[in-house]
Structures are given as C-alpha cells and as structure tokens.
Amino acid sequence: MANYLRKKHTKNLFLFCLMGLLTVKNLEASDVYGDDHIARNQSFKHPIFGDIFGIDIFPVSNFVGDSADKQTFFKPSAPYYRNTVLPQEGIDTDKAYYLFDKLYRENHPDIACHYDNLMAKGQPSIPLITHSIWLTNLDAPVDLTDEFVSWFKKSCSMHLASAGWKHYLWVQDQNKLPKAVRELAKEGIEIKEVYATLADEKDFYGLKPIVDNEISQSKFGRAADILRCVILNKFGGIYRDIDYLMTRPFTGLALAYDFFAGIEPPYSCPCNALIGCRPGHPVMEKMLELMARNLNPNTAPAYIEESFRVGGELLKTLCSAVHPLDWTELRSI
C-alpha cells in the first residue's frame, strides 16, 4: 500500500490504513505534494474541501487468513488474543473475521471513495478536526521535541483551514509547554487543555478517576488510550498518535466514512493509533463502555488479570484498553 502516513517512532507493531482512496480519472495535479509524484498523479481538488488524495489498495481483504497466519509471529499477544480473549468474550473467532471481510467488501473504497461520490459530497461525514495528545509530568514537564513539532506542522499543512480543517493538541496545562505552544500557535493549531475542555465527568463514562490515576503514575500512554476515545466520542474528527506524520490528505476518508481505523496486523483488529469517527459513533461509545468494564476489578473478565501473568503490563494494557469489538453486534451500524 502506498505510504499514506509514516510512523516516525519505530515500534514492533506496524499500522496500515484500513480505508484507502481510489480514483479512476486523469485529474489535475495538486501543488501540495512537492516531490511526491505518486500522490501528485493520484490527487484531485474538491471544490469545497481542496486536495484529496487517492491511492491504490488491495482489492480483496483476507482478515480470516491473516489473523490465523500471524499466530507464530507475535507471541504471546497474537495467540492470546485469538485463543483466550475472543472466546472469553463469547466471540466466535472465525465468524468474526468472516464478518470483518464482509463488512470491508460492503464498504469498499472502490465505491465509497469513487471520484464521483466524493465530488458530490457537500458535507463531511467526519468533522474536519485532527487530534493529538501530549501528557507530561507537570512538576518536571517535557516539551514536545523539535521532530514532533515539525511532524505536527507537516501533517496540518495537508489539511488547511481554508478547506475547513481544525487541529487540536490536547495537553494538561499549556503554560508548561511554552516552546511547543508558541511554535504550533503560529500555524493556527489550537491547544486544548484536557480538564478545562472536558469539564463534564459524563464525557468520561466513569473513567476520569482512572485517567487521573494513570497520569499521577506517569503512565501517559494508558491515560491517552482512554482520552482519545473520550475526545472522539464528544467532538469527532481524526485522532493520530503524536509520532505519526500524515504525508497525504485524509480528507477523502472524512468525506466517505463516519468511522475508519488502522489495523493491528498481529490481530487483524482495529488499532487505536489512528481513528476517525463522527461524534457519538456507536463503536466509540462501545469502546468506552468496555474500557470502563475492563478497568474495574469488580467487572473485568478473568482474562484481563491473566494477561498480566502471560505477557506482562503491555499485554494487560492491550487487553484492557484496546478491546476486541464483537462485529456481530455492530454489523448494522
């Protein structure tokens, strides 16, 4: 798949975009892509929303085969997910992945992102907002690195205010990050303070004490896992991890779909590092409900605690906060 975005911080798990854009006409080249000739040749301008990028994608999905083939590559997480997590959730593994393939085909970008369909759009399905989160120890704050600031600016340059885009960086206290705030404000990026903006505890689905506790223990990644869902559920938009660089516009996805996500290859399930959705989407509401259940020792399934013994804190975090959705429940969404 063409390079839609880059994850600049190397990790063991790789992300690719679930939904792509496919165009079939000879279109006017955009000036936004610089030396990226592939993007230039596959782009076009929407009369309202500006630059839209189309990419060639795999025509047929194979989540059934991929989920089975990955079992030996990512241990213990992949086999634990397939053989323990899904069965304990009452999810038939094979049926779930067959349904995933069916959903992908029924919502395929060949149709949803066809040139004529996108050009006919007068309103986006997903609000044109990007979100990123940066949490730090306020007693000894760590500002964003120059690289993170640079990638943030580059990502925003693909999504212009003149086309209706807004960009939010979520922090605890902007006064603790003077350099980043100053640099990003020059580009029109808005700094949102988490507790000032999300003042209603109902937005947290009962998870605010857990967010507070994770932050107090400097477990910022785990707190951000929850916050991204809270933010998207309330505002909608596209969340990207702070160490992702958007290299081409995501506008087409925001026009075509009211939910999209990346894929975790080890599990062939949606990944929370890149998510787009409308406010109050049922998938996001379900995610928050499941996290509230999983992070409460009185209601969490047995596999949550067992995951810590099997694979340590990382596996427990994956099981608790990056939860398998039962697609048989969500197929009608």
pLDDT confidence band for 7 (50 / 70 / 90): low
pLDDT in tens, 258-315: 999 887 776 667 788 999 999 999 999 999 999 999 999 899 999 988 988 888 888 8
246 is a domain residue: yes
303 is a domain residue: yes
pLDDT in tens, 51-73: 887 655 556 667 777 777 877 77
Nearest to 321 by CA among 246, 221, 172: 221
Give the chain's domain count.
1
Nearest to 112 by CA among 248, 259, 265: 259
326 is a domain residue: yes
268 is a domain residue: yes
Contacts of 33 (CB under 8 A, 6+ apart): 39, 40, 43, 248
pLDDT confidence band for 109 (50 / 70 / 90): confident
253 is a domain residue: yes
Peptide bond into 76 cis (omega under 30): yes
- The 8-class DSSP code of residue 170 comes to E
Pairing mode, strands 237-240 and 129-133: parallel
Q: What pLDDT is recorded for position 59?
A: 61
Question: Is pLDDT above 50 for 117?
Answer: yes
Average pLDDT, the chain: 82
234 is a domain residue: yes
93 is a domain residue: no
Question: Is pLDDT above 90 for 99?
Answer: no
Question: Is pLDDT above 50 for 2?
Answer: no
284 is a domain residue: yes
Q: What is the CATH number of the domain that holds 316?
A: 3.90.550
Q: Which two tokens stand for residue 233?
A: 């559920």
Parent domain of 20: 5-57+110-330
Mean pLDDT of 209-214: 95
